[in-house]
Amino acid sequence: RLRLHDGKLIKDRRYHLRTYPNCFVAKELTDWLIDHKEAPDRETGIRLMQKLMDHYIIHHVCDEHSDYKDAKLLYRFRKDDGTFPLSKDVKVFMRGQSLYEKLVSVEESILKVREENSVKYQRTFLGCEMIDWLVQEGEVENRKEAVELGRALLEHGIIQHVSNRHHFFDSDTLYQFWINFRRRRRLTELLNENSSRALSESPDSPFCLRKLNPDPGNTSFLSVQTNKEIKIVSAVRRSSITSLAGNSNPYFSTTPTLVFPPVAECNPKSVLKRPVTNEELLSPGAPYAKKTLTIVGDAVGWGFVVRGGRPCHIQAVDPGGPAAAAGMKVCQFVFSVNGMYVLHLDYQTISSLIMTGPRTLVMEVMESIE
């Protein structure tokens, strides 16, 4: 947006006896994207601008077109006309960016490269250090408010515990800025923004228990092998991250391309009888009990499916798997994963936390006691 202002592509324009301030011509912008190597061709440029429209960043000046047309039509950035929606998510993100810029621009910054368990982490800080700094700089009124801010930043994926095991606390626990706000991003990255979640969203997800066909008498599930072929195994076997990685390493470090025939599909219908909110789960006297489950994955995984979001629930449990043996049941709600509070997360993020974590999984779940 700022580059377009500098290049005079964004300016006041007159059309049908009316002046539209701070707008651009779609066709001219597509030309600009190609000339400045932000898009390799017009089709990609159109897809990029449509992505910005879908995220309420740009819009047609009269809102007569919901899609981006590569034509002599006028569009505008919502930040230039005051219609950009400042949701809570956006406000937290902007606050995180502001704090990051302030931290990296000062001498003797608390952001440093640190090592923990022989692993080096970038942009790290201690929880208590961050709280001291926030209070000292007048960013917050007191330590309690600083903790609340830190928790909001963590819950929105801006900071994280270096090994993803803890929420934000006023302690000497090590955290890092997960987002490097100084890294210059190319527009084309927008088209791949969900690639890290594609594995858990798609029907090919190793976290899905899938029947080979809709025959209710069939109890065979699919397991992914390293040669990317489909293998039918008995119902006590699970699709797993370890079978994807091709070894017994409990950590997942590769992103294989999975190919499945059309019959391998997830059933998206929720097992919940009705939606449940976090407020309902956590309200005093609510009919829910918290349980801690320790699940030791075997050679083919843990044997359960997470679905939903805010809160997530257990959609399916393999009756012969480690999760069932630990006491997991369908319709339980996921409270924490390896010590990390997750009620505010969606199932893709929780699946990623589980799949990239250790083989021994400690989960807190909440189940109905009615």
CATH-assigned architecture of domain 278-368: Roll (2.30)
Annotated domain spans of the chain: 1-77, 88-177, 278-368
The CATH number of 88-177 is 1.10.10.10
Whole-number pLDDT of residue 141: 94
Same fold, 1-77 and 278-368: no
Q: Which residues contact 25 (CB under 8 A, 6 or more apart)?
A: 9, 13, 72, 73, 74
Crossing angle of helices 42-54 and 26-35, in 10° steps, is: 120
Is the pTM of the predicted complex or chain greater than 0.85?
Answer: no
265-294 tens-digit pLDDT: 344 578 898 889 988 998 888 899 999 999
Are residues 134 and 149 in contact, defined by beta-carbon separation less than 8 angstroms? yes
User: What pLDDT score does 194 carry?
Assistant: 52
Question: How far apart, in whole angstroms, are the C-alpha atoms of residue 158 and residue 178?
Answer: 5
Q: What is the pLDDT along the chain (370 residues), one digit of tens a residue?
A: 888 998 999 999 988 888 999 999 999 999 999 999 899 999 999 999 999 998 889 999 998 888 999 999 999 999 888 888 777 888 888 899 999 999 988 888 999 999 888 888 888 999 999 999 999 999 999 999 999 999 999 988 899 999 888 899 999 999 999 888 877 778 888 887 554 443 333 333 333 333 233 333 333 333 333 333 333 333 333 333 333 333 333 333 333 333 333 333 344 578 898 889 988 998 888 899 999 999 988 766 788 889 988 899 998 888 888 898 899 999 999 999 988 889 998 888 888 888 877 888 999 999 998 7
The amino acid present at 281, given as its one-letter code, is: L
Please give the CATH topology (third level) of the domain spanning 1-77: Arc Repressor Mutant, subunit A (1.10.10)
DSSP state of 301: B
Q: CA dist 123 to 58, 92, 104, 150, 175, Å?
A: 32, 19, 9, 15, 8
Helix (H) or strand (E) holding 128: helix 127-136
Q: Closest by alpha carbon to 248, among 295, 299, 172, 189?
A: 299
Residues 12 and 25: their CA atoms lie apart, in Å, by: 11
Express each pLDDT in 216-272 by its tens digit.
Answer: 333 333 333 333 333 333 333 333 333 333 333 333 333 333 333 333 334 457 889
